[in-house]
Amino acid sequence: MTESGKPGDERFFRRSGPYTVGAIAALLGIKVERAPERLISGVAPLQSAGPEDVSFLDNRRYAELLTQTRAGAVILHPDFVRKLPEGCVALAVVEPYVGWARVSAMFFPFPVPAAGVHPSAVIEPSASIDPTAEVGPGAVIGAGAQIGAGSSIGPLTYVAPGVVVGKHCRIHAQVTLSHAILGDRVVIYPGARIGQDGFGFAISKDGFTSVPQLGRVLIGDGAEIGANTTIDRGSAQDTVIGPGVHIDNLVQIGHNVNIGAHSVVIAQAGISGSTRIGQGVMIAAQAGLTGHLTIGDKARIGAQSGVMQDVQPGEEVLGAPAQNAKTFFREVITLRKLARPGAKHKHRDPTENE
């Protein structure tokens, strides 16, 4: 937040606009009859927005702020339109938070790559870099690597030989990429390590023998990989991160893991090798999955869960070892009742039926 309580400090964020209410509505796919020519200069929360700002309401617990806001326009669900103050324009959509994301990006667009290679970058002659791509200070691009149109490679990032980076990707500072093929619009945040050896070895009476890791990491279009996350390359197969997958910071993905499209993995989770995760799965913070599991489409794995067996499509699991969420909560309630002071427990003699 700036001193005014509004987001978008101009020292860090490139601002665009102003835009008319009508233009904002068009971005949201709706029409407004009221004040379509009103100019909006930025975005702000309900409590700090002024007449030249657009705000939003997505969580009903903040509905009371709506009645007091000074915003020029508010993105909100149709159910809340009647609570808007007089003079405020309603931008009514079914998914207000999605609308807010689009409008925020309208006023604060993602940085546009400055085409060219920084003089301090080290580029192998056989590397292919599109003229519209940006390669930052101290970056190293290995032999035969390919950098697609409109992509940016951040400072001190290492792109190993043969790596392919698609179009309009954003690879932030100090990332290492090896044995990897990236689709288009992939975002990798600072410090991520992609494509290193998987944790593979054979055990014998003489100790450990490393198993060559001969696979790759394939990352689909629109995927995002968080800061300091590590993704091992496959052993005999590929590690696959599907299209639109979002992986948070500090996540570990083992070799041969396959994550289906539009799944989410949250901070400090760990997924062991050869586990297959379906589409639209949500894995919460600090969850741990053992290897060679199958997690069905749209399953939900709770925070700190220890998953040791397959999870069915659409199932929600919690606990360690993880189990169906309803069963988990029944057990919690039962234990709490037993632990209450003064609770009477009926003890059964285990030998009474012998």
pTM: predicted TM-score of the whole model, two decimal places: 0.90
The pLDDT score that the predictor gives to residue 340 is 84
Residue 163, domain member (yes or no) = no
Mean per-residue pLDDT, 212-241: 97
User: Would you place residue 338 in the very low, low, confident or very high pLDDT band (cuts 50, 70, 90)?
Assistant: confident
212 and 89: one domain?
A: no
Say yes or no to pLDDT of 353 above 60.
no
Measured distance CA(270)–CA(260) in Å, rounded: 16
- How many folded domains does the chain comprise? 2
The pLDDT score that the predictor gives to residue 4 is 58
User: Would you place residue 337 in the very low, low, confident or very high pLDDT band (cuts 50, 70, 90)?
Assistant: confident
Which CATH number covers residue 210? 2.160.10.10
Residue 209, domain member (yes or no) = yes
Please identify, among 107, 138, 158, the residue that sits at the C-terminal boundary of a domain. 107
The pLDDT score that the predictor gives to residue 218 is 98
Residue 114, domain member (yes or no) = no
103 and 184: one domain?
A: no
CA dihedral 315, 321, 326, 329 (to 10 degrees): -150
pLDDT digits (tens, 9 = 90+) for 72-123: 999 999 999 999 999 999 999 999 999 999 999 999 998 889 999 999 999 9
**Is 255 in the active site?**
yes
Structural domain including 283 reads 178-327
320 and 184: one domain?
A: yes
pLDDT digits (tens, 9 = 90+) for 50-71: 999 999 999 888 889 999 999 9
SS3 letters for the chain?
Answer: CCCCCCCCCCCCCCCCCCEEHHHHHHHHCCCCCCCCCCEECEECCCCCCCCCEEEECCCHHHHHHHCCCCCCEEEECHHHHHHCCCCCEEEECCCHHHHHHHHHHHHCCCCCCCCEECCCCEECCCCEECCCCEECCCCEECCCCEECCCCEECCCCEECCCCEECCCCEECCCCEECCEEECCCCEECCCCEECCCCCCEEEECCEEEECCCCCCEEECCCCEECCCCEECCCCCCCEEECCCCEECCCCEECCCCEECCCCEECCCCEECCCCEECCCCEECCCCEECCCCEECCCCEECCCCEECCCECCCCEEECCCCEEHHHHHHHHHHHHHHHCCCCCCCCCCCCCCC
Measured distance CA(294)–CA(291) in Å, rounded: 9
Say yes or no to pLDDT of 1 above 90.
no
The pLDDT score that the predictor gives to residue 341 is 83
User: Would you place residue 141 in the very low, low, confident or very high pLDDT band (cuts 50, 70, 90)?
Assistant: very high
286 and 197: one domain?
A: yes
pLDDT digits (tens, 9 = 90+) for 252-299: 999 999 999 999 999 999 999 999 999 999 999 999 999 999 999 999
Say yes or no to pLDDT of 24 above 70.
yes
Say yes or no to pLDDT of 346 above 90.
no
CA-CA distances (angstroms) from residue 331 to 193, 245, 314, 322?
40, 33, 21, 13
Residue 152, domain member (yes or no) = no
Say yes or no to pLDDT of 339 above 80.
yes
Q: Which residues contact 324 (CB under 8 A, 6 or more apart)?
A: 315, 316, 317
Do the beta carbons of residue 37 and residue 22 sit within 8 Å?
Answer: yes
Residue 30, domain member (yes or no) = yes
Task: Work out the percent of the chain whose per-residue pLDDT is above 70.
Answer: 95
217 and 308: one domain?
A: yes
Q: How much is the mean pLDDT over the chain?
A: 94
Please identify, among 76, 91, 107, the residue that sits at the C-terminal boundary of a domain. 107
User: Would you place residue 47 in the very low, low, confident or very high pLDDT band (cuts 50, 70, 90)?
Assistant: very high
Q: Considering the candidates 168, 172, 255, 347, report the single residue annotated as catalytic.
A: 255
